[in-house]
Amino acid sequence: MKLLLANPRGFCAGVYMAIDVVEQLVDIYKGRAIYVHHEIVHNKHVVDRFRRRGVKFVDSLEQVPVGSVVVFSAHGVTPAVRRQAVERRLIAIDATCPLVTKVHLEAIRYSAKGYQILLVGHADHQEIIGTRGEAPDAIQVVSSPDDIPHLQIKDPDKLVYLTQTTLGIDDASVIIDALRNAFPNLKDPPSEDICYATTNRQKVVRAIAPECDLVLVVGSKNSSNSVRLTEIAEASGAPAYLIDDTSELEDHWFDGVDRVLITAGASAPEDLARDLVLHLINKYGGEVEQRDIFREDIEFGLPMTLKKFMRSQGVNPEGRRIIRDDAESIDRWLEDRGVAHKTVPMTLGVT
Ligand code: SF4
């Protein structure tokens, strides 16, 4: 069996940062309770690993004792949640991805200029709930073209659209085209809201899936970008499954299968993808070919709220970043385990 390993895959800069935030707090706030508002990132293993180390995940700040430390997840929160944290005298550490914050700021700016905002995304996703909360009277969520006839539009010449950062690029285009048809003077956002990590992972799957018999996406079912990767693989004609780990594999998926693409959503730890690779090689034999398509070098520093808190605890935040496990080091990892492998640089012919 040939395993094609997508690169980039797995953690993005926002997820590295959000996980770093909780890691730092676990390290410097030893023995005291740390609360996280919602899942820090949408991955079962990441959350379970922190839970085992004593971190408490809550759905509401009512569950957080007055004066405690609480982390806002990578998906962002509404201003109402931030106000509630102040009212409860919580020490709030904001791990919102800066690329989500960018969309919040766009929403605030356009609403202040009197625009109505059409927010393309999934209404029940934490990120959309957070962004919508910035200007609830100005924002309407559009999840599909079917929503367009139900929109309440005051002035079709003062309309802008924004998008969730983790949408499928093609799905978003269909909705945006339908919006443009309905409202020809619809304004574009100042820059692309679907983030670089979502875009890169989707482009890689779209490029490689057509040459595979099966696609396995490592990620959790509530991870929007992981679900989109699975849908894109299926649309390319290959059966595709989204799995948290090897325990969810089913033998019949591999009947007659010769080439398998493995990728991972932006919130899925690299060790789970490697476990999957090793499991399949041990079971079916074969070799690994990493397809190296994009080099990602974006990094986000620790949030100001965390740095301030660290200083209050007598900890210098400089140089405190946790070392990240890098997908590029997989060659040595495979070599150490005696797995035949190669890395093949690949260009997509598109930018
Ligand atoms: S997927 Fe994109 S927006 Fe979401 S955390 Fe990662 S970099 Fe940020």
Residue 174 has pLDDT above 90, yes or no: yes
pLDDT at 326 over 70: no
Count how many domains the chain has: 3
- Specify the residue with its C-alpha closest to ligand 1, atom 2: 195
Percentage of the chain with pLDDT > 70? 97
Mean pLDDT of the region 16-32: 94
Grade residue 295 by pLDDT with cuts at 50, 70 and 90: confident
Query: What separation in angstroms does the CA of 210 have from each of 200, 227, 238?
Result: 17, 18, 7
Q: Which two tokens stand for residue 88?
A: 């409860």
Q: Is residue 69 part of a domain?
A: yes
176 and 43 within one domain: no
Do residue 265 and residue 230 come from a single domain?
A: yes
Question: Do the Cβ atoms of 47 and 302 come closer than 8 Å?
Answer: no
Query: Does the beta carbon of 175 sit less than 6 angstroms from any atom of ligand 1?
Result: no
Per-residue pLDDT reduced to its tens digit, 261-275: 999 999 999 999 999
Give the mutation target among 99, 226, 227 for probing the ligand 1 site: most ligand atoms within 8 A of CB. 99
Assigned domain for 70 exists: yes
* CATH number of the domain to which 83 belongs: 3.40.50.11270
Read off the pLDDT of residues 278-293 as tens digits, 9 standing for 90 and up: 999 999 999 999 999 9
pLDDT, mean over the chain: 95
In this structure, are 238 and 173 located in the same domain? no
The residues, any chain, with a CB within 8 Å of residue 27's CB and separated by 6 or more, are none
pLDDT for 351 beyond 70? no
Rounded (5°) CA angle 221-199-124: 40
Same domain, 62 and 113: no
Please state which of the ranges 224-228, 237-241, 297-301 shows the lowest mean pLDDT.
297-301
**Which pTM was predicted?**
0.95
Of 209, 231, 227, the C-alpha closest to 218 is 227
H-type alpha helices, the chain: 13-28, 44-52, 79-87, 98-112, 126-132, 169-182, 196-208, 224-235, 270-284, 304-312, 330-336
* 293 and 202 share one domain: yes
Residue 328 clears pLDDT 70, i.e. is over it: no
Q: What is the largest CA-CA distance in the chain?
A: 65
Residues 231, 332, single domain; the answer is: yes
What mean pLDDT is predicted for residues 141-161? 98
335 and 245, same structural domain?
yes
Q: Is the CB of 142 under 6 A from ligand 1?
A: no
Residue 334 and residue 221 share a domain = yes
DSSP state of 306: H
Domain CATH code at residue 163: 3.40.1010.20
What's the half-sphere exposure (Cβ side, CA atoms, 13 Å) at 256? 3
What range defines the domain where residue 19 resides? 13-97
